[in-house]
């Protein structure tokens, strides 16, 4: 179907667009952007008062298929992504079995193509079984279609092994991703080590558990000249270390989760297990530096780390609960409400962090993260004014483990298009 979107406020940093425009879609591609466009064979969408953004792209989505479809599957997770304005997501390799072989990667891509409502890219495991002990057959994973090699929930503990990995995979795929995390410094930690952990009587996780791993891997990236992407940095010093590394020309990038930009460790006062995240929510001084780092471009992008769990898995004592929360449906309205609307982050920078920069890091071609003429029509329409309360019954994801239940947010996507197909529409 052809589409004519009339009168939306178009925001696309890559195209230097930030004004009211029309957009014409012909045969699934962007045919024209301008004013007073008309086309007799296009379905008209009056979009006055709405924002039109290039489709959002997530670097860190857990889809749980195969192995834990009761939490999430490709169909439900990708529909949740569409509802959140995402048109492309990178599937993490921590399925059961993990995506550490060529057949597993090929099968995930096949499932994604058949069942996905959005574009699903697949990451291969950076280590066999994600145990951090041995290298998989990287060339075979890349040939099967892996877009990245990822250790999503921790570092490779053996520095010599990680150095060999970087030497071997350099140039093989666009993204090599790790979460900086020294397990030996975590022990039985449950939350950020600080005043709040003392008050709540929970064992703390020190910031150096992240920072020592980060600095080691920054040095290895410099030594091998292999680009490394750091998932979910969460401390003020991590931001400073990345800034210095970039200034020195070390090929590194990083992201932050939406929750670490708006919540602090005080959110755990009631021992809410939906706030049990890895890395842990930090104190307000760290959050302020993370927001500044994102605004300044030191932090490249925001990744959801969408981590579904069933109610039964999360509704346990805090110490026994698993780490993680869902985020695909709420990241855009959360950050629009808490950062953009109050002037802490520009809308242009938010779009860069949610779309333009992730597309660059994934090495995507054909106009991904842009509204370039001739590129696939991947975009989302957003209502910046209408407020909605986050409720479990309203969420599409199979899992409802979000710390945002009951919060009133605005800036919700109302329609998402992938290759010119309407894959999500808010009909309320």
> Quick one: DSSP state of residue 376?
B
> Are 296 and 266 within 8 A, CB to CB?
no
The rounded distance, in Å, linking the Cα atoms of 403 and 331 is 12
- For 352, phi then psi, to 5°, come to -55, -45
> Are 356 and 379 within 8 A, CB to CB?
no
Q: Tell me the C-alpha to C-alpha distance, in Å, between residue 318 and each of 71, 190, 267, 281, 346.
A: 19, 8, 13, 14, 36
- For 225, phi then psi, to 5°, come to 55, 35
Q: Tell me the C-alpha to C-alpha distance, in Å, between residue 172 and each of 93, 147, 148, 175.
A: 17, 9, 9, 9
> Are 274 and 401 within 8 A, CB to CB?
yes
Do β-strands 252-256 and 86-91 pair in parallel, antiparallel, or remain unpaired?
Answer: unpaired
> Are 25 and 13 within 8 A, CB to CB?
no
Within a 10 A sphere around the Cβ of 196, how many other Cβ atoms?
20
> Are 23 and 10 within 8 A, CB to CB?
yes
> Are 277 and 325 within 8 A, CB to CB?
yes
Q: Any idea what the Cα angle at residue 384 is, between residues 396 and 361, rounded to 5°?
A: 70
The rounded distance, in Å, linking the Cα atoms of 382 and 402 is 21
Burial category of 2 from C-beta neighbours within 10 Å (exposed 0-12, middle 13-18, buried 19 and up): middle
Task: Report the 3 state secondary structure along 300-355.
Answer: CEECCCECCCCHHHHCCCHHHCCCCECCCCCHHHHHHHHHHCCCCCCHHHHHHHHH
Q: Output the CA torsion 194→200→202→208 (10° steps).
A: -10
Catalytic residues: 305
Instruction: Report which of 137, 119, 134, 136 is spatially closest to residue 55, judged by C-alpha positions.
Output: 119
């Amino acid at each position: 179907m052809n589409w004519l979107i009339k009168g939306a406020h178009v925001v696309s940093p890559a195209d230097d667009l930030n004004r009211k425009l029309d957009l014409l879609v012909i045969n699934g591609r962007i045919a024209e952007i301008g004013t007073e466009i008309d086309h007799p064979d296009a379905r008209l969408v009056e979009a006055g008062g709405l924002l039109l953004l290039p489709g959002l792209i997530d670097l860190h989505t857990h889809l749980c298929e195969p192995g834990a479809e009761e939490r999430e599957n490709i169909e439900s997770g990708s529909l949740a992504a569409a509802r959140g304005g995402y048109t492309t997501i990178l599937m993490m390799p921590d399925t059961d079995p993990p995506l550490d072989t060529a057949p597993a990667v090929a099968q995930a891509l096949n499932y994604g193509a058949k069942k996905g409502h959005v574009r699903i890219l697949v990451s291969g495991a950076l280590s066999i079984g994600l145990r951090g002990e041995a290298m998989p057959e990287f060339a075979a994973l890349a040939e099967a279609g892996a877009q990245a090699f990822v250790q999503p929930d921790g570092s490779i503990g053996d520095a010599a092994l990680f150095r060999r990995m970087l030497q071997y995979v350099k140039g093989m795929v666009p993204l090599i991703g790790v979460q900086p995390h020294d397990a030996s410094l975590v022990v039985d930690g449950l939350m950020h080590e600080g005043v709040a952990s003392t008050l709540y009587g929970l064992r703390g996780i020190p910031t150096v558990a992240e920072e020592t791993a980060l600095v080691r891997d920054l040095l290895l990236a410099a030594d091998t000249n292999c680009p490394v992407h750091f998932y979910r940095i969460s401390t003020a010093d991590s931001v400073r270390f990345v800034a210095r590394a970039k200034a020195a020309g070390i090929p590194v990038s990083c992201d932050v989760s939406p929750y670490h930009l708006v919540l602090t460790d005080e959110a755990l006062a009631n021992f809410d297990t939906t706030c049990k995240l890895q890395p842990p929510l930090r104190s307000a001084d760290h959050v302020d530096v993370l927001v500044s780092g994102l605004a300044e471009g030191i932090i490249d992008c925001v990744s959801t780390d969408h981590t579904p769990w069933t109610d039964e898995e999360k509704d346990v004592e805090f110490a026994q609960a698993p780490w993680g929360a869902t985020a695909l449906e709420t990241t855009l309205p959360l950050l629009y409400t808490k950062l953009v609307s109050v002037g802490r982050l520009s809308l242009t920078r938010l779009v860069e962090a949610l779309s333009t920069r992730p597309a660059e890091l994934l090495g995507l071609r054909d106009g991904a993260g842009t509204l370039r003429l001739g590129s696939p029509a991947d975009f989302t329409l957003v209502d910046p004014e209408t407020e909605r309360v986050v409720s479990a019954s309203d969420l599409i994801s199979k899992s409802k483990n979000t710390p945002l239940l009951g919060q009133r947010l605005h800036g919700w996507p109302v329609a998402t298009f992938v290759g010119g197909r309407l894959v999500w529409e808010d009909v309320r």
